């Protein structure tokens, strides 16, 4: 795909607003790239305007497949007037293409399309089936990748590339994520007599501190750092001079490979019951809002070696990295056990941020790398 065509495609993808809606329109634009070409297209509807899609390019060996995986939704833009450029304008400044989703991850989606079109336009069959798996709703519940998984989209695959932004460094692992809602009930009293009440806000903050200590094993992962517990929302209280009898909070817990959600929840329950025993009248209840397991690839697998060779063949430095955020990988790698890599264009530090932008040259380089990897399998 020529740079002008790639720029036009990515710009038009960014112009389609898909912040928790409208992924079907993004699918329409991508599918149009393959009009009249020998591919198999399957749509997976989730509701009005919301589709996932798999485009399969048949290979010489149809018993095997490589899956390229990318999501089509973005986060919203609550601060649009503060952007330097229209977040849905898809403007190109000669080096960077600007707009919401340029990095996360319509740049990766455009690279997936470009890699497949390279085979089709040259009339070359890839050595195995190439499946472009475009998912809806990655930024929320992941219903897109879950439906693809349950419908067998990964059956027969030998490996998967999750095309999220990594600056074209191979990501071999990502942290798990557990969002935990905590509700506390206590006893109100006059603010001048706190000893007559049970402070629910204090109960919530003590729980957060206790869980943080309980999960702090001292372990530091070479690529992912440490398990973290962050108190991210907190509400409670009715007036400055009233001890609050109710409070709620959410905790964002990011886990290292090897620490399972069941273990986290068991420790959370222990912390909650201990606090209730220490503070008579305090009642704590817990509810899971989101649960994504951590995933880690074998760095010595044949697929990992093939990824390294493809990067080297394209003149890219490589250098393994870990991802602190979760991807669609968390929703199908644990179930399928596929070898995988997280590899895509763009700086993940710009994800979900104002003035998101991606170097177009990096999108083109990602397409070249995917093509080299596919050809080597």
Catalytic residues, which ones? Answer: 73, 138
Measured distance CA(37)–CA(141) in Å, rounded: 33
Measured distance CA(85)–CA(121) in Å, rounded: 35
How many other CB atoms are found less than 10 A from the CB of residue 134?
28
Output the CA–CA distances (angstroms, integers) from residue 140 to 19, 131, 215, 296, in the order listed: 10, 23, 26, 22
Is 203 exposed, middle or buried (CB count within 10 Å of its CB: 0-12, 13-18, 19+)? buried
Is 154 exposed, middle or buried (CB count within 10 Å of its CB: 0-12, 13-18, 19+)? buried
Output the CA–CA distances (angstroms, integers) from residue 35 to 29, 46, 55, 309, 344, in the order listed: 10, 23, 12, 32, 25
Whether the link from the prior residue into 134 is cis, omega within 30° of 0, is: no
**CA 368-102-306 angle, 5° bins:** 30
Among residues 281, 275, 273, 274, the alpha carbon closest in space to that of 246 is found at 281
What is the number of residues in the chain? 377
Measured distance CA(45)–CA(164) in Å, rounded: 23
């Amino acid at each position: 795909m020529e740079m002008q065509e790639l720029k036009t495609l990515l710009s038009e993808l960014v112009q389609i607003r898909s912040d928790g809606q409208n992924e079907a329109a993004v699918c329409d634009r991508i599918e149009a790239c393959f009009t009249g070409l020998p591919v198999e297209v399957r749509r997976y509807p989730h509701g009005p305007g919301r589709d996932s899609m798999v485009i399969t390019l048949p290979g010489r060996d149809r018993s095997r497949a490589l899956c390229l995986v990318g999501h089509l939704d973005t986060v919203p833009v609550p601060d649009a007037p503060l952007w330097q450029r229209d977040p849905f304008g898809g403007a190109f400044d000669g080096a960077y293409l600007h707009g919401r989703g340029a990095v996360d991850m319509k740049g990766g989606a455009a690279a997936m399309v470009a890699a497949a079109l390279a085979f089709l336009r040259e009339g070359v069959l890839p050595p195995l089936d190439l499946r472009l798996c475009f998912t809806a709703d990655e930024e929320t519940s992941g219903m897109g990748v879950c439906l693809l998984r349950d419908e067998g989209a990964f059956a027969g695959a030998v490996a998967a590339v999750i095309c999220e932004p990594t600056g074209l460094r191979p990501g071999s692992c990502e942290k798990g994520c557990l969002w935990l809602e905590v509700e506390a009930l206590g006893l109100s009293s006059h603010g001048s007599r706190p000893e007559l009440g049970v402070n629910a806000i204090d109960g919530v903050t003590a729980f957060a501190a206790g869980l943080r200590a309980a999960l702090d094993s001292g372990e530091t992962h070479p690529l992912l750092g440490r398990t973290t517990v962050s108190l991210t929302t907190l509400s409670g209280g009715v007036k400055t001079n009233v001890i609050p009898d109710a409070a709620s909070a959410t905790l964002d817990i990011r886990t290292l490979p090897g620490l399972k959600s069941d273990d986290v929840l068991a420790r959370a329950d222990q912390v909650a019951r201990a606090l209730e025993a220490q503070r008579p009248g305090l009642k704590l209840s817990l509810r899971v809002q989101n649960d994504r397991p951590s995933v880690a690839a074998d760095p010595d697998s044949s697929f990992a070696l093939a990824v390294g060779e493809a990067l080297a063949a394209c003149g890219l430095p490589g250098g393994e990295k870990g991802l602190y955020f979760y991807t669609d990988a968390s929703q199908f790698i644990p179930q399928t056990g596929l070898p995988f890599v997280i590899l895509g264009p763009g700086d993940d530090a710009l994800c979900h941020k104002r003035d998101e932008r991606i170097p177009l040259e990096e999108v083109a380089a990602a397409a070249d790398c995917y093509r080299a990897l596919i050809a080597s399998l």
